[in-house]
A and B are shown apart, each in its own frame.
Chain A
Amino acid sequence: MNEGSRVGEFETLFVKHYPRIIGILWRIVGDHGRAEDLASEVFLKLYRRPLAQEPEANVGGWLYRTATNLGIDALRAMARRSRFEQAAGQNAGQHKPAENGFERVARFERAHRVRTVLAELKPAQAQLLLQRASGDSYKELSVALEIEPGSVGTLLVRAEAAFEQRYRELFGSVEDV
């Protein structure tokens, strides 16, 4: 593949997948600026990766897998950082004008707890939950996460059980939030 068509292919993939990648990363890290940074990293990795002879579905799957991996890594790093930085991450750009202060605080708190639990799950389970919550079908999940289509249901059940268990250990009942 010559350089021109390679660049053209890269740009096509970028435009096609960028909104979804941002959506996934935003959901994971809760900060649009950070999500953009991570998305840039994802696409930089893509650019450096040989694309030739690769079905586009696999490229999409690779992108989503890479994005969730980076997002979860970032989430874990955020958890290790100072309280100040954590707070900055939690409160990122999510203000809904219709919310009152109490509602906003409650939403931030809930999102913070969810991210805390996700950061402590096995990465594969966190990825599965996040991408399923993004609306991926079983087929899309199996491609993106390289898992057998016939085991997606079982893996989802296990991931959800793990999420609930860790949530209870950290914060009590899931319904309490």
Chain B
Amino acid sequence: MNCVSENNLRAYHDAELSPVQGAEIEAHLARCAECAKRLGEIAATAARVEKQLVSLGAASAETKIDAQAALSRFKSQQGAPVETMPSKSDFVTHETNVPAKRWRPLWIGAVAATILLCSLAFPFGRGLAQRLLGTLRVEKVQPVRLDFSALDGNRPLQEMLRQMISDKVVVTADEKPQPASTAADASQLAGFSAHMLGVRTDTPKFIVGGQHAFHMTIDRTRLQDIFDQAGRADLLLPATLDGANVSVNVPRSIMVEYGDCPESHPAGAAQTGPAQAHSGAWANCLALQEVPSPLVNMPSDLNLQQLAEIGFQLAGMSATQARSLGQVIDWKSTLVLPIPRFASSYSQVTVNGVQGTLIEGSGRRGPDYVLVWVKNGIIYGLVGHGDSSNAVALANSLN
């Protein structure tokens, strides 16, 4: 017998040969020092590499895997029975390329995330009446990549949320937006001074957004049901959450619109259809939104970080990633700004001496952007179309 091939030596080492082949090689190895040496080398290398790979561990040894539960979660994450699961392209078409509408979820998302994070994080006892309330006030913005896409199209989940809001949330203020003819009028209506972009000489339109306020009592069981429906039964809300009272007050805001903008851009642009998004429209449109920090009252001994971590996990982060991020955010003063899925990039910039976040997107009509920053208790959002390189300069011209 000639010397054994490397392939067969390795297969012999792994007991992957037939008994006859194995016996032949064994006999050869007994009289061939060279092959025996080569087998020793192959075995030693295999053992060293195996030792390294073993360090990656075995999931089954540490994690109980329930395939049926995973299948249920998989189906619910797709938001429909697998028979009618949408394709990724279906998801994309939901994100209309009308810039105003596309950015709208940013604000909704930011507020929703704030409410979610604030309203979920109450590891306190039931004696709420004796507790002092703590107040959150936004001083800065923290951009975070969150992905709630797994919840998109989950109709039972949406219905549960809608029902819970209907049952539990008591709205105490829900004002409609109203136009103002001048900056002075807008300031008087809103209760704070409107700022404008110094570099724009055209006359802007002013819209004063209404005040919105509500309070709610947390029903931990219903919230947990919602988490279960979202496929995250593994995320357990603290039992002490039950019965906690939260109140949220979003003050009046001012929208300053420059140029040719879509109707009620961006606040009312949800009604704007893609058909109106013809090329060239709104090229000189700039919208500056100004809103004083929403106030969120809640028991002062809450553990916001703990609940924020749960919220992050709901948005697709691993427990460890959520913990790592939760630890670096000052939850008493930071607005978590979810970065939309369609955003192509985001970066930290300096605006008027404070840190801001520039988020860029790309739609059918070309690039658009939103720049968000907080200064002196006011949250600013500048939405523009086209090149974002002058966004900071525009924002710095605020007067």
Whether A175 touches B14, Cβ cut-off 8 Å, given contacts A19-B65, A23-B58, A88-B321, is: no
Decide if B56 touches A153 in the complex (CB within 8 Å).
no
Task: Name B14's contact: one of A31, A34, A138, A167 (CB within 8 Å).
Answer: A138
Chain A residues whose C-beta falls within 8 Å of the C-beta of B275 in the assembled complex: none
Of chain B, the residue at the smallest CB distance from A34 is B318
Decide if A47 touches B85 in the complex (CB within 8 Å).
yes
Task: Name B56's contact: one of A30, A157, A160 (CB within 8 Å).
Answer: A30
Decide if B63 touches A26 in the complex (CB within 8 Å).
yes
Decide if A23 touches B70 in the complex (CB within 8 Å).
no
For the residues of B in contact with A, the DSSP-based class is helix
Chain A residues whose C-beta falls within 8 Å of the C-beta of B97 in the assembled complex: none
Chain B contacts with A in 25-63, Cβ cutoff 8 A: 42, 45-46, 48-50, 52-60, 62-63
Of chain B, the residue at the smallest CB distance from A135 is B58
A166 to chain B, nearest CB (A): 11
Chain B residues whose C-beta falls within 8 Å of the C-beta of A114 in the assembled complex: 52-53, 55-56
Chain A contacts with B in 91-150, Cβ cutoff 8 A: 91-94, 96, 107, 110-111, 113-115, 117, 129-130, 133, 137-138, 150
Q: How far is the CA of A20 from the CA of B395 in the complex (A)?
A: 52
Q: How far is the CA of A43 from the CA of B6 in the complex (A)?
A: 37
Q: Is A36 on the interface with B (CB-CB < 8 A)?
A: yes
Decide if B82 touches A47 in the complex (CB within 8 Å).
yes
Whether A10 touches B82, Cβ cut-off 8 Å, given contacts A133-B54, A154-B7, is: yes
Q: Is B71 on the interface with A (CB-CB < 8 A)?
A: yes
Q: How far is the CA of A48 from the CA of B77 in the complex (A)?
A: 16
Decide if A88 touches B324 in the complex (CB within 8 Å).
yes
Chain B residues whose C-beta falls within 8 Å of the C-beta of A160 in the assembled complex: 45-46, 49
Decide if B316 touches A138 in the complex (CB within 8 Å).
no
Decide if A138 touches B6 in the complex (CB within 8 Å).
no
**CB-based A-B contact count at 8 angstroms:** 159
A173 to chain B, nearest CB (A): 9
Q: How far is the CA of A160 from the CA of B319 in the complex (A)?
A: 33
Per-position 1/0 for A38-74, Cβ under 8 A of B: 0110011001100000000000000000000000000
Chain B residues whose C-beta falls within 8 Å of the C-beta of A47 in the assembled complex: 82, 85
Decide if A154 touches B6 in the complex (CB within 8 Å).
yes
Chain A residues whose C-beta falls within 8 Å of the C-beta of B50 in the assembled complex: 133
Q: How far is the CA of A137 from the CA of B55 in the complex (A)?
A: 20
How many B residues have CB within 8 A of the partner chain? 49
Decide if B56 touches A14 in the complex (CB within 8 Å).
no
Q: How far is the CA of A3 from the CA of B50 in the complex (A)?
A: 44
Of chain B, the residue at the smallest CB distance from A95 is B62
Decide if B77 touches A18 in the complex (CB within 8 Å).
no
Task: Name B74's contact: one of A43, A85, A115, A154 (CB within 8 Å).
Answer: A43
Q: Is B279 on the interface with A (CB-CB < 8 A)?
A: no
Decide if A130 touches B53 in the complex (CB within 8 Å).
yes
Q: How far is the CA of A115 from the CA of B77 in the complex (A)?
A: 29
Decide if B82 touches A11 in the complex (CB within 8 Å).
yes
Q: Is B92 on the interface with A (CB-CB < 8 A)?
A: no
Name the residue in A39, A91, A151 with the highest tally of chain B Cβ atoms < 10 Å from its Cβ. Answer: A91
Q: Is A76 on the interface with B (CB-CB < 8 A)?
A: no
Chain A residues whose C-beta falls within 8 Å of the C-beta of B317 in the assembled complex: 33
Q: Is B2 on the interface with A (CB-CB < 8 A)?
A: no
Q: How far is the CA of A113 from the CA of B56 in the complex (A)?
A: 10
Chain A residues whose C-beta falls within 8 Å of the C-beta of B20 in the assembled complex: none
Chain A residues whose C-beta falls within 8 Å of the C-beta of B14 in the assembled complex: 138, 153, 156
Decide if A94 touches B62 in the complex (CB within 8 Å).
yes
Chain A residues whose C-beta falls within 8 Å of the C-beta of B87 in the assembled complex: 48
Chain B residues whose C-beta falls within 8 Å of the C-beta of A91 in the assembled complex: 320, 324
Q: Is B11 on the interface with A (CB-CB < 8 A)?
A: yes
Decide if A153 touches B318 in the complex (CB within 8 Å).
no
Task: Name B67's contact: one of A18, A33, A107, A163 (CB within 8 Å).
Answer: A18
Task: Name B321's contact: one of A89, A113, A153 (CB within 8 Å).
Answer: A89
Whether A133 touches B56, Cβ cut-off 8 Å, given contacts A7-B82, A88-B321, is: yes
Q: How far is the CA of A152 from the CA of B6 in the complex (A)?
A: 10
12 extra interchain contacts, Cβ-Cβ under 8 A, other than A88-B325, A129-B49? A7-B83, A14-B67, A22-B65, A23-B59, A30-B56, A87-B324, A92-B319, A110-B52, A111-B56, A153-B6, A153-B7, A157-B7
A-B contact pairs, 26 of them (CB 8 A): A19-B60, A22-B63, A22-B65, A26-B63, A31-B321, A32-B59, A33-B319, A43-B74, A44-B85, A47-B82, A48-B87, A84-B328, A88-B318, A88-B320, A89-B321, A93-B63, A114-B53, A115-B56, A153-B9, A153-B10, A154-B5, A157-B42, A157-B45, A160-B46, A164-B48, A174-B49
